[in-house]
Structure 1
Amino acid sequence: MKTFALLRSIRKRPTQREIIGPLQSRSFQPDFVPADPKAKPIKYKLPATYDPYGPRPPPSDKIIQLAEKIAALPPEERMQIGPTLRARLRHPKMQSISADGVDLGAQGGSGAGSAKAEEKVEKIAFDIKLEKFEAAAKIKVIKEVRAFTSLGLKEAKDMVEKVPVVIKQGVTKDEANEIIEKIKAAGGVAVME
């Protein structure tokens, strides 16, 4: 008997008031006062500049004198201040970030400056292109292509028959040289781009 009562209490469906909630079931709350539609909105004055750290005290006379001495230095000596302070305060050296593959758009610069930057960048990812193969070695070349790609027999055969074709993209120089040697041993000619 007790189990049936327990099951009924568990299976009891919630009432409408329990579903809506105690505050939402009331249609009118007497302590609620609507805003006056004729009232003017409050306008807040924003500061001209926003300083997230708040107002700061003015620099001391010692700092002002130091800044004047630095400004009076010749440009060659001013360039030495940053590295000297970094070494003295034991700050880590800033590492340059590579922008390979990032399109800078119109801001990237143009002319001789960008051409020099492109010459300095060493290529790290290469594509392997199968240019030709001997007709007698077609099966061996297909096997080699299947060995370093995840293609099936039919896909590898179709790819080899479409020479010249790029067979692998984005590999390192060492891996590319290894694959080229394997294709050369099988009777094909592959190049690195």
Structure 2
Amino acid sequence: MKLISLVRNVHSRHCRPEVTRCLQLRFFQHDFVPRDPKSKPKKYKYPPVYDPYGPRPPPADKIIELAESIATLPPEERRLIGPMLHERLKHPKLQAVSTEGMDVGGKTDSGPGKVEEKKEKTAFDVKLEKFDASAKIKVIKEVRAFTNLGLKEAKELVEKVPSVLKQGVTKDEANQIIEKIKAAGGVAVME
């Protein structure tokens, strides 16, 4: 009997250990030193102009005289200096950088010398403008024929006129659709 009670006692101690001490120790300390509320912020002195290459020597007297003579010229003659220097020093002409596909902000007005290139439109949308009330069923049938819609979807599309029937079609296909809608009793336009 004593042996059984001893085994139970030993078994219970190993299976369920008694917790007699703190499982976790936490120290809530600041990761930084808190600022003194009475202190004023530090003011740093920045140089008036930052030059990463250090101080430069003053320009030569010849350069100063040249700059003064350019400053005394009238504005019309000053505008001609840049192109003349480009030609004289044989600098390559600057070419416009293409920003197509980039978000560069709002559209800017191009200068008077630039002509916009017009691209010919290749994809068109067919829009149903109106239809005759007596020809509603014929128009729905035609819409179902070239859009592959069900009866319910085609009916809803026709009823919320004006609506786009088909997008991104060629000019020939758009003209064929417009003719079919016109024959059925509706009015469609190409956009």
Please classify the TM superposition score into its range, dividing by the shorter chain length: 0.3 to 0.5
TM-score (norm 2): 0.45
If each structure's helix is expressed as a fraction of its own residues, which one has the higher value?
A: 1
